[in-house]
Amino acid sequence: MAKITTEMVKGLRDKTGAGVMDCRTALTRCDGNQEAAEKLIGEERRAQPIETPSCGAGVVHSYIHTGDRIGVMVEVECGTDFAARTDEFKTFAHDLAMHIAAMAPSWVSPEDAPWNTSGDEEIDSSRYLLLQPFIRDGSKSIGDLLAELSDRIGEPVAIRRFARWEVGEEIPPEETQPLDKPRGPLVAAAVVILLALAATFFLMLCA
């Protein structure tokens, strides 16, 4: 078995942003192979459910692409306002907005799609933001970057929602619900009619 050195752990940590013990464990399991250890950390991250921040801290970042034809607004949440004000967190939100402008995802994750993507159904990763390769580093997905940022700042980070507009794109029709008609006057009219019929029937009996 290969000897796991401090330099090997540091190199893997710089690439993945994982903790020291996680890097050492992955290297040990992969017999010192850096590429295999990096892949293992990525697989374990994707297998873990994303923890949702509970206090509602975070940022809403807007981005207008060069040429003023594409605009993006994205909400990224974290655990504390302190983390949301850091340059690292703001840089992530900005890079994320640029990525959305370029790649035009449909949903944040498969769980947000209006159909069930569980089981053996094949997932088209190009439609989901967390599964898309990052435009500046195709070796990492947006989900990988999200997990790395969470590890570095020491608290959960989540992409809550985003919106993307492009000049000239087709706007889907809004679903409208018919307004309920007021029922008060109808009920009153029915009561009056019933009373009138009852009175007429009573007069006929008395005649």
Q: Mind listing the pLDDT tens digit for each residue in 85-116? A: 999 999 999 999 999 999 999 999 888 877 65
Rounded distance between C-alpha atoms, residue 5 and residue 88, angstroms: 29
Q: What is the pLDDT of residue 191?
A: 60
Average pLDDT for runs of 10 along the chain of length 207: 83 75 85 86 62 74 94 94 92 97 93 61 77 91 90 88 91 55 56 67 63
In the chain, the DSSP E strands lie at 57-64, 70-78, 133-134, 137-141, 158-166
Domains with residue ranges and CATH for the chain: 6-47 (1.10.8.10), 57-166 (3.30.479.20)
Residue 177 has a pLDDT of: 47
Q: Please check whether residue 145 is in contact with residue 129, taking contact to mean a CB–CB distance below 8 angstroms.
A: no
Cβ neighbors of 8 (< 8 A, separation 6 or more) are 27, 32, 34
CA distance 65 to 80: 29
Structure tokens at 58: 């975070």
Please state the pTM of the whole predicted model.
Answer: 0.60
